Amino acid sequence: MPNKRPITSEDLFKISNVGEAQISPCNGKFVFVKTTIDEDQEYRSHLHFQRFDETSSVQWTFGKVRDHSPCFSPDGKKLAFVSNRSGKSQIWVISTEGGEPQQVTQSKNGASNPVWAPCGTQLLFKTSLKLDQDESVFDQEEKKKEKKKSEPLVVNRLKYKSDGAGFHNETYQQLALINIETNEITELTSGRFSYEPSSWSPDGKSIALSANLTDDADYQIVSDLYLLNVETKELTLLTDHNGVYTNPTWSPDGKTIACFGNEREYLGATINQIYTIDIHTKKKKCITETWDVHITDAAISDMRSGHPNPGPIWSNDGKTLYFTGSENGNTSLYAIDENHEITPIFAEEGHVYGYTFDEDRKFAIIGLSDASNPGDLYKIVLGEKKKTRLTYINEAFLSEVHLSIPEPITAKASDGWEVHGWVMKPHGFEEGKKYPMILEIHGGPHAMYANSFFHELQLLAAQGYVVLYTNPRGSHGYGQKFVNACRGDYGGKDYEDLMAAVDFVLENFDYIDQDRLGVTGGSYGGFMTNWIVGHTNRFKAAVTQRSISNWTSFYGVSDIGYFFTKWEIGACFQEDPEKLWYHSPLRYVKNIETPLLILHGENDYRCPIEQAEQLYIALKHQKKDTMFVRFPESNHELSRSGPPHLRIERLNHIVNWFNEKL
């Protein structure tokens, strides 16, 4: 529309995120979490209540805090949630009739993941405990003390750090219960293992959880399912150390567990399936094995990161399971019945990033985004092919900005494989005029660009660029063979897929200026950007973000390097360092003539900043056209959940580089 302005990087401050919806057992209302960036350029999250017969919500929590993970008590009279309002994140409870929230945990290292017991008097939660100090969940929060002198970090574990979490420092995630009426705390787990809570049995006697309790847990990338007897604390193994199983949920009769998982047949490129497990016989059955679709949400966006998944949801009669799946650039809501027949519940074009069901399983609330909306909540009545919009979170913002609506494309690679993607026209597009184009490459690589809102892509279109983004082989959404096809071949057919997409749009869209092409991407997309500029000069400018340049050093410095290089490149350092070096963009750095901007977070443990340092020095030493921007306080998630002011800086550097070079 001519009266709408182009989107800007600073519009990030105007966009709100809505999610984590939960329906009250009373069914007349629901709660959700709204996240904004305030005047201090800090993230704030608050709980909002809304009735189904109304189109506006009431904010229930306030302040310069982050409130999230809401969970209704079985009778709907209380709501538990996680908040950092007392400093560290702790569990709080508020009456749904109103009043002030009350803090119920005071764990020294914080608490998270509240799950109500069926009796409604106990809450299961997770907390981090440190072994070497013999900490207990009973310990109260530490009072402010004088600043301690720095101490050395003694490392004995293989996996001693994680992106976002930092150094583990001998801490483990343990489970505990708190009685809301008496404040009594019961420790359920301990020792040198971490546990992930999931769900209570209908009779309240057992908890389903996931953990890696193998003798060599540091070396085996597995996640098993266990049942924890609440009274005896005895653990019963349900799986067999052969895969990754998560999000276990109980059938209504308490006889069966459903979960997501896979047996790692293709290691990190294995698509998720749904399994059911008889808790008495331990017999495990894959009920989606004939459906070549990745179960759960594989779509990526810079508007949200790490949205919680409730797991497979059972119908009240125990004959149906509800879940999301990722296919052809969409994440949709599906059902599978007792005959293993799969039907779509909601499968319109878009990205279903969250879902929750009412107690009677008659309707659901989904979080839905598409190219024109960062996300809103919708009510889906089962059996009816329509959705009712419940929220209008970004209505004011969307009314003032112009958005470019992507046009889907399908290109053919040299071997005949199809490559799905999208093209966005620039703001102010005029027929007969030529425009520069930027190729965007997603990370993962086992992820999926989708029909979802992407601020960065909209920003580039607003700056006058055609934007091309695709799902080359290695991406989720197109079956097991497709997602596995890049393993051991990084820079091979995946590179050809991207070039085939570029060739296709240049041939079919005459408004693209083939002499003004740019390329950018992050993580695997950063690797591929590095690879591209080392193998062709067709791009006149490039921006590599949180990238990989040297697989040989990545093996030892990344929090996942010791297994990821073997899984994805097909070799580890000790066995075949030559193969790691062959697939390393740094090997081809002498060929790079494309002006290259290098962006990297200093606290990135996934793709550590030394990857960027090596690339920059190698280019600068040759007096190549390059610039290096280091972002403090930033990990691998900078573009999605990093400090807001640095996210803006990152976007501005990208735009300025392309504006200068193209």
Report the alpha-carbon distance of residue 458 to residue 406 in Å, rounded: 10
User: What values do phi and psi take at 541, rounded to 5?
Assistant: -160, 150
Phi/psi at 365 (5° precision): -110, 130
3-state secondary structure of 646: helix
Measure the CA angle with vertex 106, ends 105 and 109; round to 5°: 110
Q: Check if the beta carbon of residue 446 is closer than 8 Å to that of residue 365.
A: no
C-alpha to C-alpha distance for 326 and 8, rounded to whole angstroms:
30
- Tell how far CA 259 is from the center of its chain: 19
Of 408, 409, 411, 407, give the one whose Cα is nearest residue 503.
411
DSSP state of 232: T
Which residue in the list 45, 89, 332, 523 is annotated as catalytic?
523
Half-sphere exposure of 163 toward its Cβ, with a 13 Å CA cutoff?
Answer: 22
Cα 360 from chain centre: 29
Phi, psi of 553 (to 5 degrees): -80, -30
- What is the residue-wise DSSP string for 180-216? TTT--EEE---SS--EEEEEE-TTSSEEEEEE---TT
Q: What's the CA gap between 195 and 224, in Å, rounded? A: 10
Distance between CA atoms of residues 203 and 185, nearest Å: 20
Q: What are the phi and psi torsion angles at 153 (to 5°)?
A: -95, 115
Q: Tell me the two tokens of residue 108.
A: 């020294």
Clarify whether 48 is annotated catalytic: no
Identity of residue 103: Q
- Cα separations (Å) of 303 from 177, 198, 300, 644? 34, 26, 9, 12
Active-site pick, 46, 600, 636, 653: 636
DSSP letters, 375-404, are EEEEEEETT-S-EEE---TTHHHHHHEE-P
452 is catalytic: no
Structure tokens at 605: 């443990």
Catalytic residues: 523, 636
